[in-house]
Chain A
Amino acid sequence: MRKEEVIKKLEDYLDGNLSVAECSDLEFQLAEDAVLFSELRLLKELRAMVVDEPAEQKLREKLEDVYRSFFKKNKLP
């Protein structure tokens, strides 16, 4: 299978778009095939990175605010 086809299958799996039969077939393949399993793991990590972007940006802004007010109060650079 070409890489794009594998990705399409894994994306459908993660989005819950596979039928019960397709899903169990893929899960069987994942249990057997370490390379396919590591592709799924990488894909999940990449999705998480993109999904967490707004929360991370918010935290960065929050830390900046707290840092400013903390150092203003303590007269540190």
Chain B
Amino acid sequence: MLPPTAFFSVEFCLIRRLNKVILRPKPINTMHRDQQYVQALIDGDSRIIGKIYARHASKIKAWIEQNEGNAADAKDVMQDALIAITRQARKPGWKLTCPFGAFLFLVCKGKWFNELKRRKQTGVTKMTLKGLADENDASILAGEVLREEEKYNLFRQKFETLSEGCQKLLRLAWNGRQLQEVADEMNFSYGYVRKKKCECIARLMNAIQNAPEFHDLKSDEEKM
């Protein structure tokens, strides 16, 4: 226990001051000013999207060309990365907490690693996450985007294995159309459409849940 005078000593004041300066916790989850670029992607603002290309396209292209790719690969990777980022950013509460350039570059890098592995016909998932092991905001956010992207690709791939009828029915029903309207448009009875919709969804969910990649993604998610 410190004597009462200790609270006024120079050393004590210095320690308190140092504690305040050095040990003050770094603010976390603060929105970065580059959020404007993400917002521009959501809003489809051509002028700011143009700035994204002007600032980052050459660097991404150069890196992909140094890593077994060409200009066309760079274009596709950057476009897919921007779409994946936008998809993630549309989620309620998501915010950018790091510089946009570093974040975009890491997403492109992860996507390109995956593409190279796909071309060489080896697994993809682990490389993406292990390649981005640095615990900084940009790596964490990029890791999330890449994981969500893999999940999205699995959902999309399984959705496309459904019959055209099932795909049409789900598109109509999930876009807010009343089932009676869907039935009229597809020339089916209301009862049939109601039953068919559940069958189509069950088929889709089973296909996803039985895919080995889904279990890998789920266990990666649980580790987070």
Contacts and interface: CB of A to CB of B under 8 A. Distances in A.
Q: Do A and B bind each other?
A: yes
Interface of A: 3-5, 7-8, 11, 39, 42-43, 45-47, 49-53, 56, 58-60, 62-67, 69-70, 74, 76-77
B16 interface: no
A59 B44 contact: yes
Interface stretch (B2-10, B17-25, B109-117, B152-160): B152-160
Interface of B: 41, 44, 46, 49-50, 53-54, 57-58, 61, 71-72, 75, 79, 82-83, 86-87, 90, 151-152, 155-156, 159, 170-171, 174-175, 194-195, 197-199, 201-202, 204-206, 208-209
By secondary structure, the B interface counts as helix
B197 A11 contact: yes
26 contacts: A4-B198, A4-B202, A11-B201, A39-B205, A46-B201, A46-B205, A49-B152, A49-B156, A50-B159, A50-B175, A52-B87, A52-B90, A56-B86, A56-B87, A58-B44, A59-B41, A59-B83, A63-B82, A67-B79, A70-B53, A70-B54, A70-B57, A76-B58, A76-B61, A76-B71, A77-B71
Residue of B151, B175, B201, B204 contacting most chain A CB atoms (<10 Å): B201
Contacts of B86: 56, 59
Contacts of A7: 198, 201-202, 205
By secondary structure, the A interface counts as helix
